Amino acid sequence: MKFQIKNIVAVIAMAFALTSCNNDDTPAVAADEKGALKVEFDNTYGGANLAFATNYTNSNGEVIQVDKAKYIVSNIVLTKTDGSTYTVPKSESYFIIDEATAASTVVTLPNIPAGDYAAISFGIGVDQAQWELGVTGQGNFWAQAQQAGMEWGWTAGYRFLVLEGTFTTPTNATPTNFQAHTGRTSQSYNYTTINLSFPTGDKALVRSSITPQIHVMADLSKVLDGTNTINLSEGAGIHGGPKVSLITQNLSEMFEVHHVHND
């Protein structure tokens, strides 16, 4: 009997030790603790890694080659597992994601309150309230947008998304240039907000000692081939008109969180 009791006590002690070790794997949140968080935007096209000068076929039978892919990410909001949110300050929350510049596809957010986060939201484009502050209200971002070709001139405002390249059709094998841009038009402002939950069981554990990285997949095929199908042969220069709003609606299908690293 004493042997059994000793065994039971030993098992309980071991379980307690293992539990303590597991708890130590994720440091507790200290008062006023802050850390950094990274968001990686991994561009794909129809499930394959996006590559320039590569053939992709859409549902219209058009064969597309992409040579430029850029979009503005803004107004990032992080949601904790308890439902509370943290809004990244506007001055730190405008980024140009450019497939041609690898460094731009990973965004680093400093001074994030420590905690366990389970969702992220962000805008595609520059919100109307920010634009209405005027050129001086944009800080350095307007100059960055000009340098990156992400503006239509101040009167028209920012380009929110740029997708360019060439395409052929089953009846025309000669490559034709296309330009698909979203942004403010006379019909609509076309700013949109993307809301993404993390996969079940994934959390971004922001600590002073842990910098999580949220891996966001961006399927650029959805720009032209989402809920709204955009036929380039009907007009390959998409800079205004109703097609811009249709593309904007497609952007809600473009993004998903694939996984979260806590390294």
End-to-end CA distance of the chain: give it in Å, rounded.
47
pLDDT at residue number 15? 44
pLDDT at residue number 4? 47
The CA–CA distances, whole Å, from 130 to 16, 79, 90, 212, 246 equal: 53, 23, 9, 29, 23
pLDDT at residue number 245? 97
CA angle at residue 212 from 208 to 217, to 5 degrees?
160
CA angle at residue 7 from 3 to 12, to 5 degrees?
150
pLDDT at residue number 8? 43
In the chain, the largest separation of any two C-alpha atoms, in whole Å, equals 88
For the whole prediction, is pTM greater than 0.95? Answer: no
What is the distance of C-alpha 216 from the center of its chain?
5
Structure tokens at 215: 């891996």
Structure tokens at 229: 């199908």
pLDDT per 10-residue tile (average), the chain, 263 residues: 44 40 66 96 95 96 98 98 97 97 98 98 97 95 97 94 98 97 95 98 97 98 97 95 96 98 92
pLDDT digits (tens, 9 = 90+) for 236-246: 999 999 999 99
pLDDT at residue number 62? 97
The CA–CA distances, whole Å, from 203 to 20, 47, 76, 98, 168 equal: 20, 24, 17, 27, 43
pLDDT at residue number 6? 42
Separation of alpha carbons 71 and 43, rounded Å: 11
Residues in CB range of 185: below 8 A, 6 or more apart = 240, 241, 244, 245
Separation of alpha carbons 205 and 33, rounded Å: 12
Burial of 187 (0-12, 13-18, 19+ CB in 10 A): exposed
DSSP code for 28: P
The CA–CA distances, whole Å, from 31 to 52, 113, 177, 234 equal: 47, 10, 55, 58
What are the residues facing 49 on neighbouring strands? 44
Structure tokens at 21: 């070790």
Separation of alpha carbons 95 and 141, rounded Å: 8
Of 249, 233, 126, 220, which is closest to residue 172 (Cα–Cα)? 233
pLDDT digits (tens, 9 = 90+) for 168-219: 999 999 999 999 999 999 889 999 999 999 999 999 999 999 999 999 999 9
pLDDT at residue number 203? 98
Q: Is 47 left (phi over 0), alpha (psi -120 to 50) or beta?
A: left
